[in-house]
Amino acid sequence: MTAPADFDQGAFVRALLDPELPPPNGLETPRGFSPEKRFAVYRNNVCVGLVDALSERFPVCWQLVGEEFFRAMAHCYMREFLPCAPMLFEYGGGFATFVSQFEPARELSYLSDVARLEYAVGQAYHAEDAAPLTIGSVRALPPDRLENATATLHPSTQVIASTYPIVSIWRQHMSGEEMTPLDLNRGEEALVVRPELEIRVSTLPAGGAVFVDALQDRQTFGEAVNAATAVATDFDLTACLRELILAEAFVAIRVAH
Amino acid sequence: MHFADIEASAPDVGFFEIHAENYMGAGGAPHAQLTRLRRDFPLSIHGVGLSIGGAEPLDREHLARVKTLVDRYKPAAFSEHLAWSTQGGRFLNDLLALPYNASTLTHVVAHVNEIQEALARPILIENPAAYLRFQSSDYSEIEFLREVVRRTDCRLLLDVTNAYISATNLGFSAEDYIDAFPMSFVEEIHLAGYAEDADEVGDPLLIDAHCAPVQEGVWRLYVHALSRCRPVATLIEWDNDVPPWKVLFAQAMRAESFLARRRSAVEDNSISAAIQ
């Protein structure tokens, strides 16, 4: 007796992902009939499972385009990009980019940025824990020493700058409140932080995202202000710090001596 | 999702089981809740991502994540599936079937050994739900599982619903399957509700959907299985269209009532053995 050849999992997966292909060779059913519908159980499990995972991760995008459109779009994404690890909460990292190039969604130009915000919210949920500085201790810092200080932000901190009002869109859909018309030409810079267990999404003033990026890069507050001012000449440092403090985004601030 | 209900009612259940992969983030609510759950209840960790049945080497990074989780929460058991879910670095999010032959046996045995070595404990392997068979299978599922147990000293998780589904779909007797199952190695039982369909010639096609109450036929098979084994920890799996906590809890209580009967039967037996 010869050893059986290795089971061709690659062929199995190709047939799973392409409903145009017949089931792989070598399958049997009890009465010898076609394995098509039985194999379709696996096809369905894979497709529905991953599309459901994307529906849960991007609930506002789902609302914005409706169930049918969302599932069709998610299905296209899934066929091109399968998860590369078994943690489904990481799945969809490339979804926003995919959406931005998805021709049928072209008219909804803000959809991709809303997807980026939703993915950031999901990542914040699972991010590393760290104790935030209390609002009082941040306020107690000497303002004149801040220029050369550096900060450690909470590991969950993420910013998304958009030319669309993504925070307002996200909040209206998440709250289930009555929609009010939004000025789609007014951009928003989203701040996502999860200081304890609750996720906070707020809006930073123009330039705020660049400011936070610079702080996360270990630049000083002074350098971060310069970077922010370079993209937004009217960068409002006080308003930006207020939002960061209220969101409890600071874990440590090191004042230079 | 029922964490608040569980905290509020402190239910009298034997244990909770979690999906390993949902707790592989660095922090946040999942770990905060699991830490509190682990403080009050025994825990079983159930993996879906190690792809034990695949021909490819195990994903070492994923095994390291499993080890971190198991080391942190020290569960009563860690279980995985006789199935594969990863191919070419792509995770398919389903428990896919494999043929049972000498070649696949070699891979499964090597994978189980590697996991048990990494975790420094025996793991439980679960029987899958089958929808079709492979021409290249030379072993029955039971023969295959027995060989895996013999060569790795792993333990088994008997999914009674999967046995019922496979028997119906492939046209064999579920009772015969249970009678042949190596019960002395079973350390946990799963029960779940299946979904019903039919194939293109009208033969029944049951699907392991975890979306409904446990059906009566499965309860009967469970009682049959219990008559052949110790009263082992039994879990109700219901993770799609999850009902309110009280509905899930009622299912767990029904399993508990069968377990209690089995426990007293075992005690009666040991008493009569002592008298003899």
Do B94 and A128 count as a contact with CB atoms less than 8 A apart?
Answer: no
Residue of A nearest to B31 (CA): A126
Nearest CB to A37 within list B133, B136, B199: B199
Nearest CB to B199 within list A3, A38, A46: A38
Alpha-carbon distance B128 to B82, whole Å? 6
| Phi, psi (rounded to 5 degrees) for B195 | -105, 150
Architecture of domain B3-275: Alpha-Beta Barrel (3.20)
Statement: residue A222 has pLDDT above 90: yes
Q: What is the DSSP string of A84-98?
A: SSS-GGGTTTTHHHH
Nearest CB to B200 within list A33, A49, A89: A33
Amino acid at A221: F
Statement: residue A3 has pLDDT above 60: no
Band (A170; pLDDT cuts 50, 70, 90): very high
Band (A1; pLDDT cuts 50, 70, 90): very low
Contacts of B89 in chain A (CB under 8 A): 84
Nearest CB to A37 within list B27, B138, B205: B205
Band (A69; pLDDT cuts 50, 70, 90): very high
Alpha-carbon distance A144 to B58, whole Å? 55
Residue of B nearest to A43 (CA): B94
Among B3, B59, B101, B131, the residue to mutate for chain A (most A Cβ within 10 A): B131
pLDDT in tens, B3-14: 888 877 777 778
Q: Where are chain B's structural domains?
A: 3-275
> What's the farthest any 2 CA atoms get from each other in chain B?
61
Greater pLDDT, A178 or A81? A81
* Predicted pLDDT of residue A135: 86
Which pair of tokens denotes residue B97? 């079937």
* Predicted pLDDT of residue B274: 63
* Predicted pLDDT of residue A159: 98
The answer to whether A40 and A72 have CB atoms below 8 angstroms apart is no
Q: Where are chain A's structural domains?
A: 11-108, 128-257
Which pair of tokens denotes residue A157? 């901190």
- Report the Cα–Cα distance between both ends of chain B, in Å, rounded: 51
* Predicted pLDDT of residue B7: 77
Mean of all residue pLDDT scores within chain A: 94
Q: Which sign, positive or negative, has the C-alpha torsion A13, A19, A25, A31?
A: positive
Statement: residue A62 has pLDDT above 70: yes
Instruction: Flag residues of chain B having pLDDT under 70.
Output: 1, 271-276
Residue of A nearest to B19 (CA): A87
Over range A39-43, report the average pLDDT.
97
Alpha-carbon distance A91 to A81, whole Å? 9
Contacts of B21 in chain A (CB under 8 A): 86-88
Statement: residue A53 has pLDDT above 60: yes
pLDDT in tens, A89-148: 999 999 999 999 999 999 999 999 999 999 999 999 999 999 999 988 888 888 888 899
* Predicted pLDDT of residue B273: 64
Amino acid at B79: S
Alpha-carbon distance B256 to B110, whole Å? 36
What's this model's pTM, rounded to 2 decimal places? 0.93
In Å, what is the CA distance from A104 to each residue of A76, A96, A100? 11, 14, 10
Over range A139-168, report the average pLDDT.
94
The answer to whether A158 and A124 have CB atoms below 8 angstroms apart is yes
| Phi, psi (rounded to 5 degrees) for A140 | -80, -10
